[in-house]
Structure 1
Amino acid sequence: MPVSALIARRVPILRVVTMLATWVALFLVLTYVFVQRERFDPYLSRIASALNLSDQQVVGKEVRITMSPDGHFWAKATLGGVSRRLLIDSGATVTALSTRTASAAGLKVAKPIFPMVIQTANGQVSAQTATIVELRLGNVVARDLPVVVSPAFGGTDVLGMNFLSRLKSWRVEGRTLILTPHHPQDLT
Protein backbone atom coordinates (compact mmCIF):
# COMPACT_ATOMS: atom_id res chain seq x y z
CA MET A 1 0.00 0.00 0.00
CA PRO A 2 2.68 2.61 0.90
CA VAL A 3 4.74 1.60 -2.15
CA SER A 4 1.74 2.00 -4.46
CA ALA A 5 1.06 5.44 -2.93
CA LEU A 6 4.66 6.46 -3.64
CA ILE A 7 4.40 5.22 -7.24
CA ALA A 8 1.10 7.06 -7.74
CA ARG A 9 2.69 10.29 -6.52
CA ARG A 10 5.65 9.63 -8.83
CA VAL A 11 8.14 9.71 -5.97
CA PRO A 12 11.44 8.13 -6.99
CA ILE A 13 11.49 4.92 -4.96
CA LEU A 14 15.24 4.52 -5.28
CA ARG A 15 15.78 7.94 -3.68
CA VAL A 16 13.45 7.09 -0.77
CA VAL A 17 15.12 3.70 -0.20
CA THR A 18 18.57 5.33 -0.35
CA MET A 19 17.52 8.01 2.12
CA LEU A 20 16.07 5.42 4.53
CA ALA A 21 19.22 3.27 4.29
CA THR A 22 21.37 6.34 4.97
CA TRP A 23 19.36 7.24 8.07
CA VAL A 24 19.52 3.67 9.39
CA ALA A 25 23.29 3.51 8.77
CA LEU A 26 23.79 6.88 10.47
CA PHE A 27 21.76 5.74 13.48
CA LEU A 28 23.79 2.52 13.78
CA VAL A 29 27.12 4.37 13.54
CA LEU A 30 26.07 6.91 16.17
CA THR A 31 24.85 4.13 18.47
CA TYR A 32 28.17 2.30 18.08
CA VAL A 33 30.17 5.47 18.83
CA PHE A 34 27.98 6.21 21.85
CA VAL A 35 28.40 2.70 23.29
CA GLN A 36 32.18 2.83 22.79
CA ARG A 37 32.49 6.33 24.27
CA GLU A 38 30.28 5.73 27.32
CA ARG A 39 32.96 3.51 28.86
CA PHE A 40 35.16 6.57 29.34
CA ASP A 41 32.69 9.40 29.92
CA PRO A 42 30.71 9.44 33.20
CA TYR A 43 27.93 11.58 31.71
CA LEU A 44 27.40 9.22 28.78
CA SER A 45 27.59 6.30 31.19
CA ARG A 46 24.61 7.68 33.12
CA ILE A 47 22.66 8.13 29.89
CA ALA A 48 23.55 4.56 28.82
CA SER A 49 22.34 3.24 32.18
CA ALA A 50 19.07 5.15 31.85
CA LEU A 51 18.59 3.73 28.33
CA ASN A 52 19.63 0.25 29.52
CA LEU A 53 22.62 0.23 27.13
CA SER A 54 25.23 -0.44 29.82
CA ASP A 55 27.54 -3.40 29.37
CA GLN A 56 27.24 -4.28 33.08
CA GLN A 57 23.91 -4.85 34.83
CA VAL A 58 22.57 -6.35 38.01
CA VAL A 59 19.78 -8.75 37.09
CA GLY A 60 18.16 -10.34 40.14
CA LYS A 61 21.02 -11.64 42.26
CA GLU A 62 23.53 -11.71 39.40
CA VAL A 63 25.89 -9.24 37.79
CA ARG A 64 25.92 -9.63 34.01
CA ILE A 65 28.82 -8.25 32.00
CA THR A 66 28.67 -8.17 28.22
CA MET A 67 31.81 -9.08 26.29
CA SER A 68 33.44 -5.97 24.90
CA PRO A 69 34.42 -5.65 21.23
CA ASP A 70 38.03 -6.56 22.14
CA GLY A 71 36.82 -10.02 23.27
CA HIS A 72 37.37 -9.42 27.01
CA PHE A 73 35.09 -8.87 29.97
CA TRP A 74 35.62 -5.47 31.61
CA ALA A 75 33.98 -4.77 34.97
CA LYS A 76 33.19 -1.39 36.50
CA ALA A 77 34.18 -1.67 40.15
CA THR A 78 34.75 0.64 43.09
CA LEU A 79 37.71 0.14 45.41
CA GLY A 80 38.66 2.55 48.16
CA GLY A 81 35.99 4.95 46.88
CA VAL A 82 37.59 5.04 43.40
CA SER A 83 35.78 3.74 40.32
CA ARG A 84 37.89 1.73 37.91
CA ARG A 85 37.46 -0.47 34.85
CA LEU A 86 39.05 -3.87 35.54
CA LEU A 87 39.75 -6.75 33.19
CA ILE A 88 38.28 -10.02 34.49
CA ASP A 89 40.90 -12.70 33.84
CA SER A 90 40.28 -16.28 34.98
CA GLY A 91 43.87 -17.05 33.91
CA ALA A 92 45.28 -14.64 36.51
CA THR A 93 45.85 -16.25 39.90
CA VAL A 94 45.69 -13.02 41.83
CA THR A 95 44.15 -9.57 41.37
CA ALA A 96 46.73 -7.13 39.98
CA LEU A 97 46.58 -3.34 40.15
CA SER A 98 48.59 -0.58 38.54
CA THR A 99 50.49 1.72 40.90
CA ARG A 100 48.21 4.58 39.81
CA THR A 101 45.06 2.70 40.85
CA ALA A 102 46.61 1.53 44.14
CA SER A 103 47.63 5.10 44.95
CA ALA A 104 44.23 6.57 44.00
CA ALA A 105 42.45 3.94 46.15
CA GLY A 106 44.70 4.76 49.11
CA LEU A 107 46.06 1.23 49.43
CA LYS A 108 48.99 0.63 51.77
CA VAL A 109 51.46 -1.00 49.42
CA ALA A 110 54.07 -3.05 51.24
CA LYS A 111 57.27 -4.58 50.03
CA PRO A 112 57.09 -8.26 50.98
CA ILE A 113 59.79 -9.85 53.15
CA PHE A 114 60.68 -12.16 50.30
CA PRO A 115 60.75 -10.71 46.77
CA MET A 116 57.42 -11.21 44.99
CA VAL A 117 58.04 -12.27 41.40
CA ILE A 118 54.97 -13.20 39.39
CA GLN A 119 54.67 -14.73 35.95
CA THR A 120 52.56 -12.68 33.53
CA ALA A 121 51.82 -13.00 29.84
CA ASN A 122 54.69 -10.54 29.30
CA GLY A 123 57.19 -12.45 31.43
CA GLN A 124 58.29 -12.20 35.05
CA VAL A 125 57.39 -9.07 37.00
CA SER A 126 58.50 -7.86 40.41
CA ALA A 127 55.54 -6.75 42.53
CA GLN A 128 54.52 -5.46 45.92
CA THR A 129 51.46 -6.48 47.91
CA ALA A 130 48.43 -4.71 49.34
CA THR A 131 44.91 -5.46 50.53
CA ILE A 132 41.70 -3.89 49.22
CA VAL A 133 39.44 -3.29 52.22
CA GLU A 134 36.30 -3.36 50.06
CA LEU A 135 35.77 -3.90 46.35
CA ARG A 136 32.24 -3.38 44.97
CA LEU A 137 31.11 -4.65 41.58
CA GLY A 138 27.36 -4.21 41.26
CA ASN A 139 25.84 -6.26 44.09
CA VAL A 140 29.10 -8.22 44.60
CA VAL A 141 31.29 -7.11 47.50
CA ALA A 142 34.72 -8.56 48.25
CA ARG A 143 36.39 -7.58 51.52
CA ASP A 144 40.05 -7.83 52.46
CA LEU A 145 41.06 -8.88 48.95
CA PRO A 146 44.83 -9.39 48.57
CA VAL A 147 46.35 -7.82 45.47
CA VAL A 148 49.71 -7.36 43.82
CA VAL A 149 50.83 -3.91 42.67
CA SER A 150 53.48 -3.13 40.08
CA PRO A 151 54.35 -0.34 37.64
CA ALA A 152 54.91 -3.11 35.08
CA PHE A 153 51.12 -3.50 34.74
CA GLY A 154 50.91 -0.09 33.07
CA GLY A 155 47.35 1.22 33.23
CA THR A 156 45.64 -2.19 33.26
CA ASP A 157 43.95 -3.49 36.41
CA VAL A 158 43.00 -7.18 36.54
CA LEU A 159 40.49 -9.10 38.67
CA GLY A 160 41.93 -12.58 39.06
CA MET A 161 40.87 -15.95 40.43
CA ASN A 162 41.33 -14.87 44.06
CA PHE A 163 38.28 -12.63 43.42
CA LEU A 164 36.30 -15.09 41.25
CA SER A 165 36.79 -17.96 43.72
CA ARG A 166 34.96 -15.96 46.40
CA LEU A 167 31.75 -16.01 44.35
CA LYS A 168 28.99 -18.60 44.66
CA SER A 169 29.46 -19.15 40.92
CA TRP A 170 30.61 -17.51 37.73
CA ARG A 171 30.02 -18.61 34.18
CA VAL A 172 30.00 -17.46 30.60
CA GLU A 173 26.82 -17.81 28.54
CA GLY A 174 27.33 -16.76 24.95
CA ARG A 175 28.85 -13.28 25.14
CA THR A 176 27.83 -12.63 28.77
CA LEU A 177 29.83 -13.24 31.96
CA ILE A 178 27.51 -13.94 34.89
CA LEU A 179 28.75 -13.43 38.46
CA THR A 180 26.62 -14.80 41.31
CA PRO A 181 27.63 -13.77 44.84
CA HIS A 182 26.97 -15.84 47.97
CA HIS A 183 25.29 -12.86 49.63
CA PRO A 184 24.19 -10.15 47.15
CA GLN A 185 24.55 -6.65 48.61
CA ASP A 186 22.28 -3.67 48.10
CA LEU A 187 23.39 -1.34 45.33
CA THR A 188 24.80 1.92 46.63
Structure 2
Amino acid sequence: MNERGADLLLYGILLILPLAALVARRPPLGQTVKMVLAWIGIFGLALVVASQWHRVGNITAMLSDQQVSGTDTRIRMAGDGHFWADVEINGVRRRMLIDSGATTTALSVGTATAAGLDPEESPFATVVNTANGAVTARTATARRVVIGSVTATDLGIVTSAAFGDTDVIGMNFLSRLESWSVERRTLILTPRTV
Protein backbone atom coordinates (compact mmCIF):
# COMPACT_ATOMS: atom_id res chain seq x y z
CA MET A 1 0.00 0.00 0.00
CA ASN A 2 1.42 3.40 -0.93
CA GLU A 3 1.68 6.33 1.46
CA ARG A 4 -1.44 8.06 0.13
CA GLY A 5 -3.49 4.87 0.53
CA ALA A 6 -2.27 4.50 4.10
CA ASP A 7 -3.27 8.12 4.83
CA LEU A 8 -6.75 7.58 3.38
CA LEU A 9 -7.16 4.41 5.45
CA LEU A 10 -6.15 6.30 8.60
CA TYR A 11 -8.59 9.14 7.84
CA GLY A 12 -11.33 6.59 7.17
CA ILE A 13 -10.74 4.89 10.52
CA LEU A 14 -10.70 8.25 12.29
CA LEU A 15 -14.03 9.09 10.66
CA ILE A 16 -15.60 5.71 11.43
CA LEU A 17 -14.89 5.93 15.18
CA PRO A 18 -17.15 8.95 15.92
CA LEU A 19 -19.75 7.64 13.47
CA ALA A 20 -19.83 4.28 15.29
CA ALA A 21 -20.29 6.08 18.60
CA LEU A 22 -23.09 8.10 17.06
CA VAL A 23 -24.90 5.01 15.73
CA ALA A 24 -24.57 3.29 19.11
CA ARG A 25 -26.49 6.18 20.74
CA ARG A 26 -29.34 5.87 18.18
CA PRO A 27 -30.35 9.55 17.96
CA PRO A 28 -33.16 10.70 15.60
CA LEU A 29 -32.29 10.66 11.87
CA GLY A 30 -32.20 14.47 11.48
CA GLN A 31 -29.80 14.87 14.40
CA THR A 32 -27.65 12.02 13.07
CA VAL A 33 -27.34 13.66 9.64
CA LYS A 34 -26.33 16.98 11.23
CA MET A 35 -23.68 15.30 13.38
CA VAL A 36 -22.34 13.28 10.43
CA LEU A 37 -22.04 16.45 8.34
CA ALA A 38 -20.34 18.24 11.23
CA TRP A 39 -17.78 15.44 11.64
CA ILE A 40 -17.13 15.32 7.90
CA GLY A 41 -16.60 19.08 7.99
CA ILE A 42 -14.19 18.81 10.93
CA PHE A 43 -12.16 16.07 9.26
CA GLY A 44 -12.24 17.91 5.93
CA LEU A 45 -10.91 21.07 7.59
CA ALA A 46 -8.21 19.07 9.39
CA LEU A 47 -7.20 17.48 6.07
CA VAL A 48 -6.94 20.88 4.36
CA VAL A 49 -4.87 22.31 7.24
CA ALA A 50 -2.57 19.27 7.24
CA SER A 51 -2.05 19.42 3.48
CA GLN A 52 -1.28 23.16 3.54
CA TRP A 53 0.85 23.13 6.71
CA HIS A 54 3.97 24.27 4.80
CA ARG A 55 2.25 27.60 4.16
CA VAL A 56 1.65 28.15 7.87
CA GLY A 57 5.39 28.77 8.28
CA ASN A 58 5.01 32.06 6.38
CA ILE A 59 2.28 33.20 8.78
CA THR A 60 4.26 32.24 11.89
CA ALA A 61 7.27 34.14 10.53
CA MET A 62 5.13 37.29 10.41
CA LEU A 63 4.05 36.72 14.02
CA SER A 64 7.57 35.86 15.16
CA ASP A 65 9.24 37.42 18.16
CA GLN A 66 12.15 38.29 15.86
CA GLN A 67 11.94 40.91 13.11
CA VAL A 68 14.43 42.69 10.88
CA SER A 69 13.78 46.43 10.79
CA GLY A 70 16.13 48.27 8.43
CA THR A 71 19.57 46.97 9.38
CA ASP A 72 18.55 46.14 12.97
CA THR A 73 17.23 42.84 14.26
CA ARG A 74 14.60 43.18 16.99
CA ILE A 75 13.77 40.35 19.37
CA ARG A 76 10.85 40.63 21.80
CA MET A 77 11.31 39.30 25.31
CA ALA A 78 9.71 35.89 25.75
CA GLY A 79 7.24 35.06 28.48
CA ASP A 80 10.07 33.52 30.53
CA GLY A 81 11.86 36.91 30.68
CA HIS A 82 14.64 35.87 28.27
CA PHE A 83 15.48 36.77 24.69
CA TRP A 84 15.33 33.76 22.33
CA ALA A 85 16.67 34.21 18.80
CA ASP A 86 16.18 32.21 15.63
CA VAL A 87 19.80 31.51 14.71
CA GLU A 88 21.45 29.85 11.74
CA ILE A 89 24.77 28.14 12.47
CA ASN A 90 26.55 26.86 9.35
CA GLY A 91 23.12 26.55 7.72
CA VAL A 92 21.43 24.77 10.66
CA ARG A 93 18.54 26.63 12.29
CA ARG A 94 18.12 26.65 16.06
CA ARG A 95 16.29 28.69 18.70
CA MET A 96 18.99 30.04 21.02
CA LEU A 97 19.07 31.97 24.28
CA ILE A 98 20.89 35.29 24.08
CA ASP A 99 22.86 35.64 27.30
CA SER A 100 25.03 38.72 27.87
CA GLY A 101 26.38 36.98 30.98
CA ALA A 102 27.91 34.19 28.87
CA THR A 103 31.41 34.94 27.66
CA THR A 104 31.33 32.48 24.77
CA THR A 105 28.65 31.05 22.52
CA ALA A 106 27.81 27.57 23.84
CA LEU A 107 26.20 24.79 21.83
CA SER A 108 24.71 21.47 22.81
CA VAL A 109 26.48 18.45 21.38
CA GLY A 110 23.47 17.82 19.10
CA THR A 111 23.55 21.32 17.62
CA ALA A 112 27.34 21.27 17.21
CA THR A 113 27.13 17.93 15.40
CA ALA A 114 24.24 19.07 13.17
CA ALA A 115 26.20 22.22 12.25
CA GLY A 116 29.19 20.10 11.24
CA LEU A 117 31.46 21.51 13.94
CA ASP A 118 34.46 19.48 15.02
CA PRO A 119 34.79 19.59 18.81
CA GLU A 120 38.13 17.83 18.43
CA GLU A 121 39.42 20.92 16.54
CA SER A 122 41.26 21.87 19.71
CA PRO A 123 43.37 19.07 21.20
CA PHE A 124 42.65 20.23 24.73
CA ALA A 125 39.42 20.55 26.68
CA THR A 126 38.67 23.81 28.46
CA VAL A 127 36.87 24.58 31.71
CA VAL A 128 33.85 26.85 31.38
CA ASN A 129 32.25 28.49 34.40
CA THR A 130 28.46 28.33 34.07
CA ALA A 131 25.60 29.26 36.36
CA ASN A 132 25.60 25.60 37.41
CA GLY A 133 29.33 25.50 38.15
CA ALA A 134 32.47 24.56 36.22
CA VAL A 135 32.00 22.36 33.14
CA THR A 136 34.57 20.70 30.88
CA ALA A 137 33.95 21.67 27.26
CA ARG A 138 35.54 21.38 23.84
CA THR A 139 36.12 24.33 21.52
CA ALA A 140 35.41 24.70 17.81
CA THR A 141 34.83 27.45 15.26
CA ALA A 142 31.52 28.12 13.50
CA ARG A 143 32.09 29.38 9.97
CA ARG A 144 28.89 31.45 9.89
CA VAL A 145 26.37 32.44 12.58
CA VAL A 146 23.36 34.51 11.50
CA ILE A 147 20.67 36.20 13.59
CA GLY A 148 18.32 38.19 11.35
CA SER A 149 20.42 40.92 9.74
CA VAL A 150 23.56 40.13 11.74
CA THR A 151 26.24 37.73 10.50
CA ALA A 152 29.36 36.64 12.39
CA THR A 153 32.03 34.56 10.69
CA ASP A 154 34.62 32.31 12.31
CA LEU A 155 32.94 32.50 15.71
CA GLY A 156 34.47 30.50 18.54
CA ILE A 157 32.09 28.18 20.36
CA VAL A 158 32.25 25.72 23.22
CA THR A 159 30.29 22.49 23.37
CA SER A 160 29.64 20.00 26.15
CA ALA A 161 27.15 17.29 27.00
CA ALA A 162 26.70 19.18 30.30
CA PHE A 163 24.82 21.93 28.40
CA GLY A 164 21.93 19.53 27.71
CA ASP A 165 19.76 20.77 24.83
CA THR A 166 20.35 24.47 25.53
CA ASP A 167 22.19 26.61 22.96
CA VAL A 168 23.42 30.06 24.04
CA ILE A 169 24.64 33.11 22.13
CA GLY A 170 27.31 34.75 24.26
CA MET A 171 29.28 38.00 24.39
CA ASN A 172 31.77 36.84 21.76
CA PHE A 173 28.89 37.24 19.26
CA LEU A 174 27.40 40.38 20.82
CA SER A 175 30.81 42.11 20.93
CA ARG A 176 30.96 41.96 17.13
CA LEU A 177 27.94 44.24 16.84
CA GLU A 178 27.94 48.00 16.42
CA SER A 179 25.59 48.03 19.40
CA TRP A 180 22.94 46.08 21.26
CA SER A 181 20.36 47.46 23.62
CA VAL A 182 17.05 46.70 25.25
CA GLU A 183 14.12 49.08 24.77
CA ARG A 184 10.64 48.32 26.09
CA ARG A 185 11.22 44.56 26.41
CA THR A 186 12.81 44.37 22.92
CA LEU A 187 16.43 43.47 22.29
CA ILE A 188 17.86 45.48 19.38
CA LEU A 189 20.93 44.11 17.57
CA THR A 190 22.67 46.61 15.27
CA PRO A 191 25.30 45.12 12.95
CA ARG A 192 28.67 46.78 12.54
CA THR A 193 28.87 48.78 9.30
CA VAL A 194 31.86 48.17 7.07
Query: What is the TM-score with the length of structure 2 in the denominator?
Result: 0.69
Query: Could you say what the CA RMSD is over the residues aligned between the two structures, in angstroms?
Result: 1.8
Q: Deviations over 1:81-139 (max 9, x none)?
A: 11001100000000000000000000111264444111100111000000000011111
Q: Does residue 61 of structure 1 match 2:67?
A: no
Distance 1:133 1:111, change over 3 A: closer
Corresponding position: 1:124 with 2:131? no
Report the Cα distance in structure 1 between the residues aligned to 2:134 and 2:56, rounded to whole angstroms: 38
Structure 1 gap ranges (5+):
1-40
Distance (Å, rounded) in 2 between the aligned partners of 1:152 and 1:88: 18
Tell me how far apart the structure 1 counterparts of residues 74 and 182 of structure 2 sit (CA, whole Å).
9
Whole-angstrom distance in 1 between the partners of 2:107 and 2:54: 22
SS at match of 1:134: strand
Counterpart residue type for residue 104 of structure 1 = A
Matched residues in 1 for 2:123 and 2:173: separation?
A: 24
- CA contact under 8 A between 2:122 and 2:140: conserved in structure 1? no
2:8 is matched with none
2:154 maps to 144
Q: Is the 8 A contact 1:134 1:143 kept in 2?
A: yes
Q: 1:176 to 1:45 in 2, by over 3 A?
A: farther
**Alignment correspondent of 2:93:** 83
2:143 to 133, 136, 141: 133
- What SS does the aligned partner of 1:84 have? strand
Q: In the TM superposition, what are the counterparts of 1:1-188 in structure 2 within 5 Å?
A: 44-49=56-61, 52-110=62-120, 112-183=122-193
* Unmatched tracts of structure 2, length 5 or more: 1-52
Query: 1:42 Cα shift?
Result: 7.4
More helix per residue? 2
Larger of the two Rg values belongs to structure: 2
- Compared CA separation, residues 74 and 45, structure 1 to 2 (3 A): farther
Verify the 8 A CA contact 1:129 1:148 in the aligned structure 2: yes
8 Å Cα contact 2:98-2:168 kept in structure 1: yes
* Paired residues, number: 142
Matched position secondary structure for 1:110: helix
CA distance in structure 2 between the partners assigned to 1:164 and 1:154 by the alignment: 23
Is contact 1:45-1:54 (8 Å) kept? no
Q: Which amino acid aligns with 1:59?
A: S
SS in 2 for 1:147: strand
Q: Partner amino acid for 1:154?
A: G
Alignment CA distance shift 1:97-1:59 (3 Å): same
Amino acid in the other structure paired with 1:46 = N
For residues 18-56 of structure 1, the C-alpha deviation after alignment (integer angstroms, 9 at most, x for no partner) is xxxxxxxxxxxxxxxxxxxxxxx976442122xx32100
